[in-house]
Structure 1
């Protein structure tokens, strides 16, 4: 690999030397303060390859966003009339002038069409060069940075572009992106001994909204597929294998979904599914090691419950390779330490993506440059416009670090002031995805770790205005002043059970929790709703949030309102669950029976 890297440097050296030396024409494009926990080490090896992702402005994104809201508003005449892939590409295509000017700039470094890849919509260009060349192109210096948790990455805190290109290039990464995509952080507890004992002869729990008006008492100690179907009023609904419906789960960071564990889970909780499985799609060198010793708690949790709830709906597990840390002395040209963007590239280029996709990976919003967060969020908007519903776990740290003790809180800003602030997560803070918080027990209360709060990047979307304004009125004047942005996109949108889930891992049964349980659970019920719509010759639900908030305001029986509990963190008790929407459990947990009647009847839309 070192020989290959050395050759790359020799190839590009002459080109760089002949490139016009116009440093004076460069203007800073982006500068950041490195996030907490990162320490700069030495210069990055100049001969190490780096793949630059160059984002060109999406010329008609405001029009795409308009289409998105129209086809997602249950009261609009276009509801459900999702765009085709080609229609989306036409809307995000950059202006020809931008394409030409970027091509001309790359050409000055000897980079032509045969050297780079374009996205199908022509809004991204990817080109691999030695770091020394990238430094010349961006008038910057790359360093190796190490994190207190042991990760290492190569980044810069500032980069520049020729002034005439600023209107034609939205951003370039990897440069200032210090985010390290992680699974939900604190509440994975694979613990065979943590089961809450419930007397074998305990009577059923009365829950008026549940199937049959009650839930088995055992569900207060162990959550199973049966518990969720009972609690969320879905007993007796049988999905179709041939309706055209499809559900997907994303996997990253070498989280492998084990098929033997899945069969054990099915035998225990979904006997009719024994012998069925899922399709695995490998992206960017992803793998799915089937050794029981390599089974991933996150991957098993997500696939077992999402696919168990929706059987026999065709299911896909997306295994995306590439993960931090970057190891500078192992120069692997195909490696990527931004796996999330690799998945997004793939799914946007898929002509038939699953109608429902769940993700349980995120990072602190403040570690993601605003330009990058906005661009990734725009990618989610494209999927929503095409009829894809995206659910994300809202986080496992309450309003930040999950700690109510002021003496030990770790919620500090990354803007150099080190002020205390609540810490929302991204991508859940993107308004074009559905953020899922957590509950526990029956009757349900908010689970203490349920991530919630307000984005510091994205403003509050119109579909949230009524519900969130009503919540803010319930706060005493000055409550948490300065700790959160009351005008930001509010999180979460909805909730579901999030603890004491019985899964199989490495051949053994045990319990696990986290909003990473809530997201695939809610996604499972959305997939069942999509199945019902497709069987009624209706389009899939697509971008969910306008519909969810309309139901929350006009048909509140579609959700089980959670009014007990809070989500402590950052040295505070966090927010309280209240009547209506709140930043702990959103609009509440699903009542599938009511939602099914709404989305196939009163709110079915005009597109049949």
Structure 2
């Protein structure tokens, strides 16, 4: 996707250039589009200090990873001998050439030496965004995620000098958008009123520690507590483990562990607030089951702050919702610990979908997991050097649960410890799913445990939940018990588990052969689907009208699953004809819901899915759809994203179709609105755009949402140029210049940009290169603003 401002009239602001020619820069990573669920917003304040992690390439990565697997394989001469911190650091040093080249580049770019942290093959450094944009030839923006309601600072591409590129694996946070999320079931956490049957532990309806001990044969044993048997639990996303909830849970469901407790370690400013009103169900689930099932383990809750790259001048996080790289912060912290303080097991109930994680980032982080595995800890999570835990449900039989993920990686190749089992499994499949997965990829999960109907205590309330986030602490607790037994016998902890797990040939495990997701049989499927879809459609209309977007999203998922089962998600000759209008209407409602969630990628997918249905509609000359509205919204979205090429491609098709029918595209108010806005933008008439987006001519509420994004884009461009044109402006003049309704709105906008407010004026940050600009340069930039901000020339002349 092109940069947002690419198709708008450019305000010539003037930028400083590096001494290194631009053609000597090579791209390190580039995204073609903004990732699903994210929407670009205004640019951040260029003075924002940002902490970056740079991973240097090493030539011995594969040899090191083979060594980790060998040391973790029973029968190997060095099995169980974990590397010390110093041994690991020695093996992780990059080549002298790589270190010198990267250090020279940072010095050339005036990165403060005191801000650089050397972590072997990784470097961390903190610089303002303006400096990062200059040295990486990029532009950062704010991006908003509608589902999680978080904002982060990212870019779509970045580059480094040609002679530095061979030694740089990645620099983050740049192009990695995803943030960890708890691996919950679709129902997530549901408050419940527990019955006497639940409290007694009826395992057919409620999973408790007693149920799990019975199912997996976990018996209490007399083992002397060993401080080396440290059980770590990862905490992300401002989830806080509450001591009083743990005490009440253990008293009810694990009285034999009533004295169990945990300590807290803060990473990167992470907190563990005991009186926060925010839900902490994931933290409660993890810590309560890890402690109730382990035995005398030294439990530690590692609370890691961060979702993106925003820090104060002091280096501390600005607020809880800032988003530093939480995985990188946690992994580097753990790798830096002395051997005696390292956890023997770390339970992580958070994950991200592989398609949305840059491959270079995934590989670099996975190598960090390998480094930790070489020192001893084991991680129930997902990559060849961690143990992936899936989910089951039921007791007799225990069966695979419908929402537990599994399959084969498109990033990581199959590790050697999986060869025998995966090869046998693929042979049993034959060619039934050929082409739908990567047969050479790393298979997941490695193990599974119960993952549904778990009872927990959060904020003094009993709840039930499910998900592989419940399975991870269960398996971690089991491994903690095994580590305790090994330590008592004078052996080392198990360390990286996977080679040992696969060497067991399923001894001690139950082969899960039941369960999974099923659809309807073909002969009766369409007959069953039609009434269900009509019911869902009615509910969708109601929830969307009531602005209940959470319910709408759930209903859309159910409806699309039904359409997929009936071969109606994409129309084909075999699709039942009575399903076509239902399918089209469901997708249209999905498109409108995506707009109201400001989910631009989601809306784009719905628009593309609707085109085959609209083609059928044109052929039949029947029109009962919302095609004009959806198309007009798509044009407005393209305009707000600066995608001029796609805008005109769609418009040309509409013009041709309208001419064949003897009419003009501007006869349609839904199409006329974005066309007029685009015309005004090309003229540089920002004042007309602002008036149009605030007039009665806006076709409807949904258009108003994308119109606001468009105005925000224009406002950010004017703000960028104002920073370069003027040392300061009166707030009253800035209100007119930025199309603000009040001076209060100007003040809020100025604070977001990092501008200084004093004595009724806005003072713009002065960067070193800007301080040396000539009066002529400033006048040229000022004149450009005057020329483009038509309608406000009088105010601007006063300012000049």
Q: Above 0.5 in TM-score?
A: yes
Please, which of 287, 297, 302 is the counterpart of residue 303 of structure 1? 287
Shift of 1:342: 0.8
Please list, as runs of the form range in 1=range in 2, the aligned pairs for 1:87-486 lying within 5 A after superposition: 87-119=87-119, 122-149=120-147, 150-187=149-186, 189-193=188-192, 218-242=202-226, 244-291=228-275, 293-294=277-278, 296-323=280-307, 333-335=315-317, 336-351=323-338, 352-392=341-381, 428=382, 430-443=383-396, 444-479=398-433, 481-486=434-439
Is the CA contact 1:247–1:315 (under 8 Å) kept in the aligned structure 2?
yes
Task: Name the SS for the 1:237 alignment partner.
Answer: coil
Counterpart residue number, 2:720: none
Ranges in structure 1 where 5+ consecutive residues have no aligned partner: 1-15, 201-215, 393-427, 574-608
* Match status 1:516 vs 2:505: no
Q: Deviations over 1:506-559 (max 9, x none)?
A: 1122322111110100010011011111111111111111111111x2xx3310
Shift of 1:199: 10
Task: Name the SS for the 1:241 alignment partner.
Answer: coil
Give the root-mean-square deviation of aligned CA atoms.
2.5
Structure 2 CA distance for partners of 1:333 and 1:188, relative to 1, 3 Å: farther
Task: Name the SS for the 2:163 alignment partner.
Answer: helix
Structure 2 distance, partners of 1:309, 1:199, is: 19
Structure 2 distance, partners of 1:217, 1:260, is: 22
Number of paired residues?
499
Q: Deviations over 1:338-390 (max 9, x none)?
A: 22211111111112311111001111111111111000000000111111111
Moved more, 430-439 or 141-150: 141-150
Is the CA contact 1:280–1:316 (under 8 Å) kept in the aligned structure 2?
yes
Is the CA contact 1:292–1:505 (under 8 Å) kept in the aligned structure 2?
no
Shift of 1:178: 1.2
Counterpart residue number, 2:651: none
Shift of 1:456: 0.8
Shift of 1:127: 1.4
Q: Deviations over 1:427-479 (max 9, x none)?
A: x1x11000000111112111111111111100111111111122222325242
Structure 2 CA distance for partners of 1:197 and 1:273, relative to 1, 3 Å: closer
Shift of 1:234: 1.9
Task: Name the SS for the 2:224 alignment partner.
Answer: coil
Is the CA contact 1:35–1:367 (under 8 Å) kept in the aligned structure 2?
yes
Ranges in structure 2 where 5+ consecutive residues have no aligned partner: 1-14, 318-322, 519-556, 566-800
Shift of 1:90: 1.0
Structure 2 distance, partners of 1:513, 1:437, is: 12
Structure 1 distance, partners of 2:277, 2:198, is: 34
Structure whose residues are more often helix by fraction: 2
Structure whose residues are more often strand by fraction: 1
Counterpart residue number, 2:675: none
Shift of 1:24: 2.1
Moved more, 144-153 or 133-142: 144-153
Shift of 1:103: 1.3
Structure 2 distance, partners of 1:60, 1:268, is: 52
Shift of 1:309: 1.0
Structure 1 distance, partners of 2:75, 2:59, is: 28
Structure 2 CA distance for partners of 1:195 and 1:473, relative to 1, 3 Å: farther
Task: Name the SS for the 1:39 alignment partner.
Answer: strand
Structure 2 CA distance for partners of 1:181 and 1:292, relative to 1, 3 Å: closer
Please, which of 497, 501, 506 is the counterpart of residue 459 of structure 2? 506
Structure 2 CA distance for partners of 1:332 and 1:199, relative to 1, 3 Å: closer
Is the CA contact 1:243–1:531 (under 8 Å) kept in the aligned structure 2?
no
Shift of 1:236: 3.4
Structure 2 distance, partners of 1:190, 1:145, is: 28
Task: Name the SS for the 1:557 alignment partner.
Answer: coil
Task: Name the SS for the 2:190 alignment partner.
Answer: coil
Counterpart residue number, 1:421: none
Is the CA contact 2:260–2:291 (under 8 Å) kept in the aligned structure 1?
no
Length-normalised TM-score, structure 2: 0.59
* Match status 1:560 vs 2:560: no
